[in-house]
Amino acid sequence: STGAVKMQPKAEELKFVTKNDGYVHIHPSSVNYQTRHFESPYLVYHEKIKTSRVFIRDCSMVSVYPLVLLGGGQVHMQLLRGHFVISLDDGWISFVAASPQVAELVKELRCELDQLLQDKIRNPSMDLCMCPRGSRIIGMIVKLVTTQ
């Protein structure tokens, strides 16, 4: 009836990794400083500062699908050791898809969204919600992100 219980890390012990800076910590003035567990391992942040160590502020957790659909860079898909892996940012961010169909659908949805945004840039008066193609793409993204 005795044993070790896994404890959540203390706020000052929690750290994340960035591509350029290595380990970063959530700044003590951040609203998320006391958060000791995030459902997703990915955070987006607005500001990064270096004092005694590198800190991020104004951060929010982001799930995988919004990261893939709205993040920068190209989406790549490859088969590694029997698993379909979706990667971003030249492979720095990668994760295993539930199935090859899911990987292909997510990649295709990202391509469609990119094209839709290019159309909007070319034609700023275009109403994405009234356009049949735009409303289908946006509706699918909303459904995917909210039911994830």
pLDDT in tens, 35-60: 888 888 899 999 999 999 999 999 99
| Tokens, residue 147 | 């039911």
Q: How far apart are CA 91 and CA 26, in angstroms?
A: 24
Residues of the chain below pLDDT 70: 1-5
For residue 6, report the phi and psi dihedrals to the nearest 5 degrees.
-65, 125
Pair of tokens at residue 73: 């860079």
Give the model's pLDDT for residue 77: 86
pTM of the complete model: 0.75
Predicted confidence at residue 92, as pLDDT, reads 84
Sort strands 42-50 and 54-62 into parallel, antiparallel or unpaired: antiparallel
Nearest in space to 53 (alpha carbons), one of 16, 19, 9, 10: 16
Looking at the chain, the whole-number percentage of residues with pLDDT higher than 70 is: 96
Query: Which sign, positive or negative, has the C-alpha torsion 100, 71, 87, 93?
Result: negative
CB atoms within 10 A of CB 55: 20
Confidence at residue 5, expressed as pLDDT on a 0 to 100 scale: 66
